[in-house]
Amino acid sequence: MHSATDRSEALRRFVAATLGDDQNFMLAPASADASFRSYWRVRAGMQSWIVMDAPPDKENLAPWLDIDQRLRAAGVNAPDVLAEDRDQGFLLLVDLGTRTYLPELNAANVDASRVDKLYADAFDALLHMQTGVDARGLPDYDRARLVAEMELLPEWFLTRHLGFVPNCEEWDIIEATFTHLANAALEQPQRFVHRDYHSRNLMIVPENNPGVIDFQDAVIGPITYDLVSLLRDCYIEWPSARVDAWVEQYRQRLISTGVTDADSAQFRRWFDLIGLQRHLKVLGIFCRLWYRDGKVGYLADLPLTLRYALSVARAYSEFAEFAALLERAVAGRNITHPREDAAVATP
Strands 47-53 vs 38-44: parallel, antiparallel or unpaired: antiparallel
What whole-number distance in Å separates Cα of residue 196 and Cα of residue 313?
22
46 three-class SS: coil
Q: How confident is the model at residue 34, as a pLDDT? A: 56
For residue 272, which of 243, 297, 292 has the smallest C-alpha distance?
A: 243
Decide if 321 contacts 288 (C-beta within 8 A). no
Which of 4-18, 92-106, 243-257, 332-346 has the weakest average pLDDT? Answer: 332-346
Q: How confident is the model at residue 23, as a pLDDT? A: 67
What whole-number distance in Å separates Cα of residue 326 and Cα of residue 339?
17
The pTM score is 0.94
Which of 69-83, 131-145, 330-344 has the weakest average pLDDT? Answer: 330-344
Q: How confident is the model at residue 343, as a pLDDT? A: 73
Q: How confident is the model at residue 21, as a pLDDT? A: 62
pLDDT digits over 231-241, tens only?
A: 999 999 999 99
Q: What angle do CA 106, 112, 113 make, to 5 degrees?
A: 120
Alpha helix locations (H) across 57-188?
Answer: 61-73, 101-106, 112-132, 143-150, 152, 168-186
Confidence of residue 30 (pLDDT cuts 50, 70, 90): confident
Peptide bond into 347 cis (omega under 30): no
Q: Greater confidence, 71 or 339? A: 71
Q: Which domains does the chain have, with CATH numbers?
A: 4-94 (3.30.200.20), 101-330 (3.90.1200.10)
What whole-number percentage of the chain has pLDDT above 90?
83
**Quick one: average pLDDT of 47-56?**
93
Q: How confident is the model at residue 347, as a pLDDT? A: 53
pLDDT digits over 250-309, tens only?
A: 999 999 999 999 999 999 999 999 999 999 999 999 999 999 988 878 999 999 999 999
